[in-house]
Amino acid sequence: VVEEDERIPCDGEICNVCGGDKVSFSIEEILQAAMHYGAIVCVGCKGFFRRALMKADQLECQLNSNCLIQFGSRTHCRSCRFQRCREVGMKPE
């Protein structure tokens, strides 16, 4: 359950990793988007980061670590998505 003070405003982008906005997510996902691992991210990116931490050394990009991470293509490159998580400030707890 997301506490009232942990919820983020829904005026646009609600995930600093995939750039998903309020149109991209269900109402439940919008209410669950909050500060996770030190950054404001959606539940999908939160779960991805948690799983990727266990195998970060195995992640490898096929395109010179230059993939565009967007809501619709966020699953195409795990390495670049993990890199984006780190860039927006996500850290292991």
Give the start-to-end residue ranges of the domains of the chain.
4-87
Q: Is the pLDDT of residue 2 over 60?
A: no
- Whether the per-residue pLDDT at 90 is higher than 90: the answer is yes
Domain 4-87: give its CATH superfamily: Erythroid Transcription Factor GATA-1, subunit A (3.30.50.10)
Which pLDDT score is estimated for 49?
95
In our burial notation (b when 16+ CB lie closer than 10 A, e otherwise), range 7-30 reads ebeeeebbbbbbbbebebbeeebb
In tens, the pLDDT along 13-65 reads 678 888 876 656 666 766 666 788 888 888 889 999 999 999 988 999 988 88
